Amino acid sequence: MPLPYLSERCPILIDAHCHTNCSDGSLTIEERIAMIRRFGYQAATITDHDFVSPEMVRRARQAAAEMPYIPAAEFSACYRKQTVHVLGYFIDESSPVLQEHIRRAQDTDREITAQLLHVLQKRGAHFEMDDLRSSSLHTFYSLQLVKRAAAELFENDPARTLNAFMEIQHDLGILYADYAPWQVQDIIDLIHAAHGIAVLAHPGGENDAVMRKLDFFLHDQAAIRQYVAWGLDGIETRCPVHSPPEIQFYEELAAGFQLLTTAGSDCHGDDDYLGAALMGKFTDLFQDGYERIYNRWKEVYP
């Protein structure tokens, strides 16, 4: 696909990390694209958790109209029994191997969520599994359970909700990494098999309480070196959970390993539980963000 170098739109600004209600966001596909347009970005992407489909991309492209659109997703994995997220850009949404992984990921997520829901129903929850499906494409993602429980049982208090879920998971012998037991190498290989490029999402967040509570892996140089050996293409260096020293650290690592650097708000939309939308408020974006991703993709797949 040609890069749309439109004279009035160079460089091309993109928020390279955002979600819809096809995973854990609060916006439909069309509402997300409308928000992207409203804040003046010149390109669009949607990076839902462990989900992308031909219908999703068709609707997103139709809503994006003249804006270039990157088919993408954020894949969950684990490293040393801790959680890692990897963004895949320019993936082939029709790839059979990709769609088989998505099916398995959703099945695993549903199995664990059913266990959690059973406990919550004993504590007074009045919803069923079918109530958690997305209005966009009838997809399913576990954090919709968390948000529904937060509203019904915990007055949308993030601390109370998270503590309750951590307690239930502990009692059931479930780790957060169990939601996605695939290794980082497997996910990088999956993204490459779908003709995309693999970018490590929010590798830091040392001072972010939720990241630490959920046991996300805090990446050091050794871990990045290992991922590079597995074929990692880039690092999301700029994101809301990174402190200025972390941004500098990961950008220096990216330069040393000759990796792509990306930036994104990780926006989920305005949400009573997750809070206000970060798109448009997170401004530490690369002005040539679209070109960075596109040009790296073309380097890998000339």
pLDDT single digits (tens) 245-272: 999 999 999 999 999 999 999 999 888 8
Between 77 and 135, residue with greater pLDDT: 77
Total-model pTM: 0.94
Domain layout of the chain by residue ranges: 11-94+178-300
Q: Which two tokens stand for residue 239?
A: 């994101």
197-206 tens-digit pLDDT = 999 999 999 9
What share of the chain in percent tops pLDDT 70? 97
pLDDT at 176: 85
pLDDT above 90 (res 141): no
pLDDT above 50 (res 53): yes
pLDDT at 4: 52
pLDDT above 90 (res 142): no
pLDDT at 133: 84
Give the model's confidence band at 2: pLDDT under 50 very low, under 70 low, under 90 confident, else very high.
Answer: very low
Distance CA 165, CA 150 (A): 10
What share of the chain in percent tops pLDDT 90? 80
**Distance, CA of 141 to chain centre:** 12
**Distance, CA of 45 to chain centre:** 11
Architecture of the domain whose range is 11-94+178-300: Alpha-Beta Barrel (3.20)
